[in-house]
Amino acid sequence: AKIAQQIGAAVQYLANQGVIHRDIKPANVLVTGGNYKLCDFGFALKLNRSDETIEGKFLIGSPIYMPP
């Protein structure tokens, strides 16, 4: 639960900044002193208003962790 809470807070912060991570998986979570941090923003996307409504435009990520 602690991991989910900290990663969820990071994802919420990113969303508030208009950033979509697009590759959240266990390998992209670092543990430092009991804290969990989201890393590897290689697939990250900074949204603008027009990007949010284009369906299917941003298909990217690690296939094993992507939804069907």
Q: Which residues are catalytic?
A: 23
And the tokens for 31?
């543990």
d(C-alpha 2, C-alpha 58), whole Å: 30
